[in-house]
Amino acid sequence: MPIIFPDIAIEYLKNADIVGIPTETVYGLAADATNSQAIAKIYAIKDRPQFNPLIIHVPSIEMVEELAQVSSFAKDLMQEFWTVRNASMSFVLKLKEKHPLSLLALAGLSTVAVRRPNHPIALDILSALEFPLAAPSANRSNTLSTTTARHVLDSLGEGVPVVDGGSCKVGLESTILDVTNDNLSILRQGIVTEDDLKSYGQVNHANHGDAIKAPGMLKRHYAPNRLLKMNTSKKEEGMAFLGFGHCPDADLNLSVSENLSEAAANLFKYLHALDKSPFTSIGVSPIPNIGIGLAINDRLMRACDNPPLQHYT
Ligand code: TXA
Ligand code: MG
């Protein structure tokens, strides 16, 4: 029963489950953006080798204001491109100091990409929920984006619940515009182009092909202030020990039952929690390099000062 109606999708999403939803650009694989357990399911099913930051989908500018710092300039742009032009546009903004979003969905960044999809079904679903939805394109990692419900099932498997909204009109992911400072910067090309933005100020381009992956690919794009050591087997003097599996001396444990999805959901939250005095370093148990464990190790390697060579494959 992989094709579901929007009201069932709403129930699934409230229960921290993932659902394929139509948007005007491509199908999205949606989950509660405030729930790291739900977000971990997205990474697991997409088979993503890294945690890329996900676009946070909202029904309104009001909801953006609960998540991010919205300058009057950014608000004008959202009003123009979302409300007046119904354009497929994501905006990167600085996060509010206090926000409800899952750190896993944000991949530990201090900025957030937000988007109001221009699709009646997506908007109906978003409007029925009290939380925003993280929704990357609904396809297995490194394969084509999907523009019909059938594509989604072919790519992610027949078991994934999908709302069928027909073929996506745009067929290409949204333009991503960084408005965190005075210079507008296009991070991902899309249907909204530089020409459409010129009247709002100077427009820069991030490095073309790299732009899509940029935040997730930066070497030390999320790192705690403390020295991070991978493959640690026991707690040492001054060290905060982040365990996985049976670790009686762990300060926090990513997953006692060795569940990699649970570990992914806890990763950023626990790294933040341990990145504090009196600790001088953070040691992390070995994480199996399989499934979503690949993404966990990828993220740890970027945060770690002496990454183990065997994880460079
Ligand atoms: O059209 C779309 O935008 C589709 C549909 C489903 O809405 N969604 C989509 O989402 O493409 P997603 O999560 O796959 O896009 C992820 C990309 C990242 O690879 C990154 O380039 C960018 O969005 N991104 C997300 N958060 C960012 C941030 N804080 N700063 C810069 N780029 C960010
Ligand atoms: Mg994608």
pLDDT in tens, 107-155: 888 999 999 999 999 999 999 999 999 999 999 887 778 989 999 999 9
Q: Summarize pLDDT for 5-22 with one digit per residue, the tens.
A: 999 999 999 999 999 999
Q: Is 141 exposed, middle or buried (0-12, 13-18, 19+ CB in 10 A)?
A: middle
Q: Which ligand is nearest to the CA of 25?
A: 1
Q: Is 227 exposed, middle or buried (0-12, 13-18, 19+ CB in 10 A)?
A: middle
**95 vs 144, residue with greater confidence:** 95
Q: Which ligand is nearest to the CA of 141?
A: 2
Q: Could you give the count of Cα atoms lying within 13 Å of 102 in the half-sphere of its Cβ?
A: 30
Q: Which of 182, 178, 308 is nearest to 233 (CA)?
A: 308
Q: Strand 203-205 vs strand 184-188: parallel, antiparallel, or unpaired? A: parallel
- Beta bridge partners, 66, equal none
CA separation, residue 118 to residues 25, 80, 136, 201, 256 (Å): 8, 13, 16, 25, 42
Q: Among 48, 57, 90, which is best to mutate for testing ligand 1, by the most ligand atoms less than 8 A from CB?
A: 90
What separation in Å is there between the alpha carbon of 298 and the centre of ligand 2?
18
pLDDT average, residue stretch 190-219: 68
CA of 216, closest atom in ligand 1: 19
| Res. 38: pLDDT tops 90 | yes
Write the single-letter amino acid at 100.
Answer: P
Q: Which ligand is nearest to the CA of 212?
A: 1
Residue 29 · residue 135 · CB < 8 Å: yes
What separation in Å is there between the alpha carbon of 182 and the centre of ligand 1?
21
Query: Measuring from each residue's beta carbon to the nearest atom of ligand 1, which residues come in under 6 Å?
Result: 23, 25-26, 28, 52-55, 88, 90, 92, 109, 111-113, 115, 117, 135-137, 173-174, 176, 187-188, 212-216
What separation in Å is there between the alpha carbon of 113 and the centre of ligand 1?
7
Q: Which of 2, 31, 281, 312 is nearest to 164 (CA)?
A: 2
Q: Which of 205, 230, 195 is nearest to 307 (CA)?
A: 230
On average, the pLDDT of the chain sits at 89
Looking at residue 207, its pLDDT comes to 56
Looking at residue 225, its pLDDT comes to 80
Distance between CA atoms of residues 46 and 141, nearest Å:
5
pLDDT band at 306 (very low <50, low <70, confident <90, very high): low
Q: Which ligand is nearest to the CA of 188?
A: 1
What separation in Å is there between the alpha carbon of 146 and the centre of ligand 2?
9
Q: Which of 313, 43, 99, 88 is nearest to 193 (CA)?
A: 88
Write the single-letter amino acid at 166.
Answer: G
Distance between CA atoms of residues 172 and 166, nearest Å:
15
Looking at residue 308, its pLDDT comes to 61
- Beta bridge partners, 188, equal 176
Residue closest via CA to ligand 1's atom 6 equals 28
CA of 29, closest atom in ligand 1: 6
Residue closest via CA to ligand 1's atom 14 equals 136
Token pair listed for 86: 């119904």
Task: Report the b/e string of 209-226 with b at 16+ CB within 10 A.
Answer: eebbebbbeeeebbbbeb
Distance between CA atoms of residues 126 and 59, nearest Å:
5
What separation in Å is there between the alpha carbon of 26 and the centre of ligand 2?
9
Residue 89 · residue 174 · CB < 8 Å: yes
What separation in Å is there between the alpha carbon of 61 and the centre of ligand 2?
24
